[in-house]
Structure 1
Amino acid sequence: MEHIVIIGNGISGVTLARHIRKLSSQPDGQAGKKITLVSAETEYFFSRTALMYIYMGHMTFEHTQPYENWFWEKNRIELKKGYVKKVETQSKTLHFAEGNTLQYDKLVIATGSKPNKFGWPGQDLEGVMGMYHKQDLDNLEKHAPNNKVCKRAVIVGGGLIGIELAEMLNSRNIPVTFLVREASFWNGVLPEGESQMINRHIKNHHIDLRLSTNLKEIKSDENGTVKSIIIEETGEEILCDVVGLTAGVTPNIDFLKDSEIEIGKGVKVNRFLETNIPDVYAIGDCAEQQEPSGNRRPVEAVWYTGRMMGEVLAQTICGNKMPYNPGHWFNSAKFMDIEYQTYGWVFGEKGRPDYEQHFHWKHSDDTKCITVAYHKDTNVFLGINTFGIRLKHETFDKWLTEKRDVDYVISNLKDANFDPEFYARYEDEIRAAYKRQLLLVE
C-alpha cells in the first residue's frame, strides 16, 4: 500500500489528507493509500485563525477543532506527533528529533510559516512571542492573563497579525504600544485613504500607535524576562511585560537546508506543486511558486490558498494530474471591528502601476470606505477594497473574468450587495461621488 506522509497538520496538510482519503478509498471499503500526518505543534488539527477568539473568551480551544478526535481513526488518517529534523530523499526517510525514523513513498511538505525575527537583542527572552502557533497562545495567557499581571504590551510590526494581537490585548484592557516601521499602517498594501483611516481607527481604540518607529532592543530583568523595549529613533525606553513580534512571516523550512530539495524563500514548486525531487511536493505557506499566476506573489501565506493547494494536489496524487490555478485574488481580514475584503488587485502607493487609477469613497463616520481600481486607458475594472461593507465574492469573481468596465461595476454595485441595509442607505452616495470624480478627471 502506497504510504503518503504529510509534514504539517494545518489547513493545507489536513485538506490534502481528507481529499486523498475521499479519492482513494476502494469500493470494498479498503483505504487504498496509507496516510500519515506529522506535526510537532498539536496532536489534532485546529483553526489557526480562531486563536485570537480563545484569548478573547469567545470560544475554547476545543471549539477550534473542526473534527472530533475519532474522525482521524475512522478515516484511517494516522497522526504522528514529532519534529522532523532531516529528510533523506534517496532512501525516502524522515529523521525525527526524538531519534526515530519514518519511511514514505510520497512526501508532502506543508509546514507553514514562522515569525520573522531580525536579530533584535532580547528577542528570545521570556515574554517575547508571536501569535502564530498554539504555543504562542499559551505563552500569551501565561504572561498577559490580565491587566494586573501585564501592565503594558508592545507590538512590533504592522501587519494583520499585529492588529489581531492588539485587539486581543485590548479586549482585556491591557495598554498597548504599537510600533510600525512604515509611515502609515499597512501602506505597502493599502492605498493612502484606507491606510490613514485605519491609523485613526487604531488610535480611537486607545492604542498607542507609533508610526515610522523601529525597535532597537528588548531589555531583560534579573530573571531573563522582558522589562522594557528601546526605540531606535529616539532611545526612549517603554516599560512592558510582553512583546509581540508580528513583523511578518517566512516559510518554515529550516529542516530542509541539508536535503536535496530545492529551496529559495520557500520550497520551490512548479504549477503541479512538485519539487525538483520525484515524489516530493509542497503546499501552503511554505511553497514557493516558480511560475506564480498573474500578479500573485510566489509565496502566499493565506488560509484559502493553502486549502486550494491541498484539494488540487490530492487529485494529482490520486492519478488525476492537475495544475494549481488559484484564480482571481481575494482575501478578507478584520481591523478591530472593521471588516475588510479585497477582490482583484488594488495596489498601495508603493508598487502601484502607472496605468492604475483609483476611485475612493469614504463615509462620514470614518469606518466605511471603498476603493475601486481600474485601467486609466481602457476603464477595465481591476479590483476593489471594501472596509465596513460586505460584498459577494461570486459577483466580483464574475466581473473580473468578464473584464467589466468601472462604470458597469459602480452602476451595478447592488448586484454585489451582501448587506441590503448598507446599499439602501449609501449606494446613491457612492455613485454620486464617482460621477463627481469623473467630472474632475475630465
Structure 2
Amino acid sequence: MRHIVILGNGIAGITAARELRKQGDDRITVISAETDHFFSRTALMYVYMGQLEFNHTKPYEDWFWTKNRIELLRTQVTDIDFDRHLINCEGNAPVSYDVLILAVGSKPNFFGWPGQELRGVQGLYSKPDLDRMEANTKDIRQAVVVGGGLIGIELCEMLLTRGIQVTFLVRENSFWSSVLPTEESLLVTRHIREHHVDLRTGTELASIIDDGSGRVGSVVLTSGETLPAQFVGVAVGVSPNIDFLKDSPLETDRGILVNERLETNLPNVYAIGDCVQHRTPPACRKPLEQIWYTGQIMGETVASVINQQRVTYQPGVFFNSAKFFDIEYQTYGTVANFLPKDDTEQTFYWEHPAGKLALRINYRQQDQAVTGMNTLGIRQRQAVWQQWIEEGKSIRYVLEHLPLANFDPEFFRQYEAEIVGKFNAENPGQPVTLKAKKGLFNRIFS
C-alpha cells in the first residue's frame, strides 16, 4: 500500500483525495495549515456579509473524512526533503510519503509599498484572511481597496454591507479593462459607481501611512493626494504559494512546472491547482490559471495519472463567471479585451439601452465560427455555449438558436429578438431569423 500525501486542502487537493479513494485503497493524508476541513473558498465573502455561517461553506460533514479513510493533519509545512521523501512540519514529526501531490495554492500579491506591513493592510484569499478582516474592519469608517479585479470588487461589496465608505483604486482607465473589452468595462465601471463606491480610475497607491499605533491611518496616491483609511484591502492578483520550495530540487518558475500529466521534474511528485505552471499549456489556455474549476479538473486528472491511466490534463473550452454586485458575468471561449490587428476575428456587441445587460459574440472572419462570448446580466447555459464553440458553429447559427442558451427563469423578459435585430441592422445582406424557442432546450440538449 502506497502512502499518498497531499499538501493543501483546497478544491484541487480534496478532489484528488476523493478521486484517489474512489479508485483504490492507498493510504491518503491531506496536510493543511489553513483549516481543519475543506471549505468553499468562493463563499468567504458571504460569511463576512452575514449571509452564511462558516460551517455552511463546508460541502462535507466532518465525519466524511474518517468514513472515507482520508487522514487530515493540520500543521504548517516548513520544508520538504525530496531525497528522503520526508515532509518537515512545525510541532509534528516528519511525514513520509511514497507519492506527493503539491496543491499549495496561491497568496495575495504585495508590491513593496511603504507601510504595507501595518495592521489593517491585507489581502483576501484564505480563512485566516477572513478572520483578520473581521478584526481589522471592526468599528472603522473608511477603507481603500487597491486593484481592479474580481477580488477587489468583492472586497468593495463586503465592506459596503458594514456601512464602511470605500474608495476603489484602479490603475486602468476603467474597471478590469485588461480583461474586458471597452464596452463591458465601461458598463461595469458605471455600475460600481452607482453602488456608492468612490471608484478612482487611472490611480495608483504610493504608500500607506501609520496612524501612530502601528495601524493604517491613511494612504498616499501617486498623484500626491492623501485619503483617510483605517483598512486597506489589497487585490492586485495572486501568485503561486511556493516560496518554501524555491531552494529545493523541484523545478519552479512563477509556479511549479508540470507537464501535461501534472508531473514535476521529480519522480512521484505532482502539482495541481493554483500553484501550477504548465510547461506546455493546453490550446487557448494560459500557463497559470487560478480558477476553481481548473483545480477540480487537475485533481481528477492527477488521481487517474497516479493510478496508471493514460490521461492528460484537458480543461476544455475556457469559461469563468463572477458577480459585479447584482450583475452576473459569464464568459466562454476566447474574448480578449481587443481584437487582433490582422482582422482575422470579428465581434458583435449588443447592450440594452438601460446599460445593465450586454452580450458579445466573437467569431472568425474566415469561416464565421464563434470563438467566444461575454454576457452581463443575462444568464446563459454553459453546456450550450461550450458545444457551440467546440463544434465551430457559425455566428448565424448561434443567433438563430440563441434562446436555447438562455438560463434565466421562465418569466424573465427575453432579449433574443432585440439582439438579433441589432445584428441584422449591422449586417443587412442576409438577415438572421430566430428558429429556436427556449422551451426546446431540454428536448435538444438533455
1:172 equivalenced with 2:162 (yes/no)? yes
SS in structure 2 of the partner of residue 38 of structure 1: strand
- Distance in 1, matches of 2:378 and 2:341, equals 24
SS in structure 2 of the partner of residue 333 of structure 1: strand
Q: 2:233 aligns with which of 240, 244, 249?
A: 244
SS in structure 2 of the partner of residue 397 of structure 1: helix
Instruction: Tell me which residue corresponds to 1:212.
Output: 202
Instruction: Tell me which residue corresponds to 1:47.
Output: 40
Instruction: Tell me which residue corresponds to 1:9.
Output: 9
1:21 equivalenced with 2:14 (yes/no)? no
- Distance in 2, matches of 1:133 and 1:63, equals 16
Q: By how many angstroms is 1:181 displaced?
A: 0.7
| Counterpart mapping for 1:128-277 below 5 A | 128-145=121-138, 149-232=139-222, 234-277=223-266
Instruction: Tell me which residue corresponds to 2:371.
Output: 382
Instruction: Tell me which residue corresponds to 1:29.
Output: none
SS in structure 2 of the partner of residue 301 of structure 1: coil
Q: How many residues align?
A: 431
| Mapped contact 1:51–1:137 kept (Cα < 8 A) | yes
Deviations 1:264-290 (A, max 9, x none): 110000000000001000000111111
SS in structure 2 of the partner of residue 298 of structure 1: coil
Matched letter for residue 23 of structure 2: L
Q: By how many angstroms is 1:193 displaced?
A: 0.3
Q: 2:382 aligns with which of 383, 393, 396?
A: 393
| Mapped contact 2:88–2:94 kept (Cα < 8 A) | yes
Q: By how many angstroms is 1:140 displaced?
A: 1.2
- Distance in 2, matches of 1:367 and 1:102, equals 54
Instruction: Tell me which residue corresponds to 2:443.
Output: none
SS in structure 1 of the partner of residue 156 of structure 2: helix
Identity of aligned residues (%): 49
Are residues 33 and 425 of structure 1, via their aligned partners in 2, closer, same or farther at CA, if it must alter by over 3 Å? closer
1:293 equivalenced with 2:282 (yes/no)? yes
Instruction: Tell me which residue corresponds to 1:428.
Output: 417
SS in structure 2 of the partner of residue 100 of structure 1: strand
Q: 1:405 aligns with which of 391, 394, 400?
A: 394
SS in structure 1 of the partner of residue 213 of structure 2: coil
RMSD: 1.7
Matched letter for residue 324 of structure 2: F
1:313 equivalenced with 2:328 (yes/no)? no
1:123 equivalenced with 2:152 (yes/no)? no
| Mapped contact 1:188–1:349 kept (Cα < 8 A) | no
**Structure 1 stretch 377-386 or stretch 268-277: which is displaced more?**
377-386
Q: By how many angstroms is 1:351 displaced?
A: 7.0
- Distance in 1, matches of 2:20 and 2:285, equals 27
| Counterpart mapping for 1:323-338 below 5 A | 323-338=312-327
Are residues 352 and 154 of structure 1, via their aligned partners in 2, closer, same or farther at CA, if it must alter by over 3 Å? farther
Q: 1:355 aligns with which of 332, 337, 344?
A: 344
TM-score normalised according to structure 2 size: 0.94
Q: By how many angstroms is 1:422 displaced?
A: 7.5
- Distance in 2, matches of 1:105 and 1:132, equals 30
Query: Which 4+ residue blocks in structure 1 deviate beyond 6 angstroms?
Result: 350-353
- Distance in 2, matches of 1:215 and 1:361, equals 35
**Structure 1 stretch 371-380 or stretch 248-257: which is displaced more?**
371-380
- Distance in 2, matches of 1:349 and 1:208, equals 27
Q: 2:361 aligns with which of 355, 365, 372?
A: 372
TM-score normalised according to structure 1 size: 0.95
